[in-house]
């Protein structure tokens, strides 16, 4: 059985942070990897030495990260930083990104764990009422000639609607939609996502941040806009950004400014073109993009934390309301029977 190198993004982020700290202290990449290999336990130790051997053989550092479970966004960010300098800062930024992702995931898991447990109990309760109690109410009220309370009738109709055929049909439709979406080009999929309320804001924010994180280091290192886009088109690990770089390059050749090219792209944040215009006027597009990227990073994760914090009481309220409705749908017929006596 293959051993897992890192258990989660927090451990991956810590590994990057230690590596960046060693580079800032003056260690070479090879020396830093050897030190990390000596400190790390088990599979992480072996992997650190494998990365060292790969670098000695002339490979790039970022090309080794996928084996340790690093996601494409982090690999892409480090890929371009590795080729443009200031690599130690990029390692620390990558570490911060991984730590934030881990914190959000852990907070979401803790907040959703108990509501999901209650929801499971709610499903069991609804099934027991539907199969065990409601049929008896229906037969009794049918024989007595009295109508069931309207709330009980409504709940019986709903529980009868959500039966196995409906669930199978719903899952089939969802599966077919996912297959259809997967077969569409990356740009077409994103165009669909940016039209969906709420999801569109998240999609634009993430796409803008990851595009900036690739472009800004190249521009700050002295690359021209054309050369930067050609580098992304050739080397970006994520297909969408390769396609986007090619499309923007074509628009630039048509005589449009970079800010005009970006303004026409609805899958990026509307403010991005204004930031680029400001950078073009000052001759510091790379610096302005980096500043805006940091703003997007902090804003995105603040929104995620607020959303997760609000989600738990909303879920509790919904589950509580459903439990109350089920309780009333069971007790109202009982009260009707008692009143009839």
Asked if residue 141 and residue 42 are part of one domain, the reply reads no
> How confident is residue 32, by pLDDT bands cut at 50, 70 and 90?
confident
Tell me the pLDDT tens digit for each residue of 82-126. Answer: 777 668 888 888 888 888 888 877 877 777 777 778 878 877 777
Residue 194 parent element (H or E): none
Among the residue ranges 7-21, 45-59, 112-126, 154-168, the one predicted with the least confidence is 154-168
Number of domains in the chain: 2
- Backbone phi, then psi, for 238, in 5-degree steps? -100, 125
Residue 32: which domain range?
9-70
CA dist 329 and 324 (Å) reads 8
Asked if residue 64 and residue 13 are part of one domain, the reply reads yes
Residue 324 parent element (H or E): helix 285-340
Q: According to the model, what pLDDT value does residue 1 have?
A: 47
* Residue 91 included in any domain: no
* Residue 3 included in any domain: no
Torsion of Cα atoms, 78 then 82 then 86 then 91, to 10°: 30
Query: Percent of the chain beyond pLDDT 70?
Result: 92
Asked if residue 252 and residue 219 are part of one domain, the reply reads yes
CA 285 to chain centre: 28
Asked whether 205 and 67 are in contact (CB, 8 A), the reply is: no
Tell me the pLDDT tens digit for each residue of 293-315. Answer: 888 888 878 887 788 778 878 88
pTM assigned to the model = 0.67
């Amino acid at each position: 059985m293959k051993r897992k190198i890192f258990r989660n993004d927090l451990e991956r982020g810590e590994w990057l942070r230690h590596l960046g700290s060693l580079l800032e202290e003056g260690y070479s990449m090879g020396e830093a990897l050897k030190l990390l290999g000596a400190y790390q336990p088990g599979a992480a130790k072996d992997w650190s030495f494998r990365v060292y051997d790969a670098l000695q053989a002339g490979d790039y550092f970022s090309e080794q990260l996928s084996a340790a479970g690093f996601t494409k966004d982090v690999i892409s960010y480090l890929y371009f930083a590795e080729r443009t300098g200031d690599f130690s800062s990029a390692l620390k930024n990558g570490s911060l990104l991984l730590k934030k992702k881990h914190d959000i995931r852990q907070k979401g898991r803790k907040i959703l764990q108990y509501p999901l447990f209650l929801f499971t109990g709610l499903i069991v309760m609804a099934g027991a009422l539907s199969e065990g109690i409601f049929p008896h109410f229906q037969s009794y009220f049918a024989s007595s000639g009295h109508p069931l309370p309207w709330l009980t009738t409504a709940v019986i109709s709903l529980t009868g609607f959500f039966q196995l055929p409906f669930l199978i049909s719903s899952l089939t439709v969802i599966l077919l939609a996912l297959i259809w979406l997967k077969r569409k080009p990356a740009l077409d999929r994103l165009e669909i996502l940016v039209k969906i309320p709420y999801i569109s804001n998240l999609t634009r924010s993430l796409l803008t941040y990851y595009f900036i994180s690739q472009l800004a280091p190249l521009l700050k290192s002295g690359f021209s806009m054309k050369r930067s886009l050609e580098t992304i088109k050739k080397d970006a690990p994520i297909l969408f950004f390769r396609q986007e770089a090619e499309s923007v390059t074509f628009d630039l050749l048509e005589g449009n400014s970079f800010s005009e090219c970006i303004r026409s792209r609805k899958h990026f944040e509307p403010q991005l073109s204004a930031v680029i215009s400001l950078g073009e006027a000052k001759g510091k597009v790379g610096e302005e993009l980096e500043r805006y990227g940091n703003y997007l990073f902090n804003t995105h994760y603040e929104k995620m934390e607020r959303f997760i914090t609000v989600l738990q009481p909303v879920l509790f309220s919904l589950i509580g309301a459903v439990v109350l409705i089920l309780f009333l749908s069971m007790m109202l017929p009982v009260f009707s029977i008692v009143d009839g006596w």
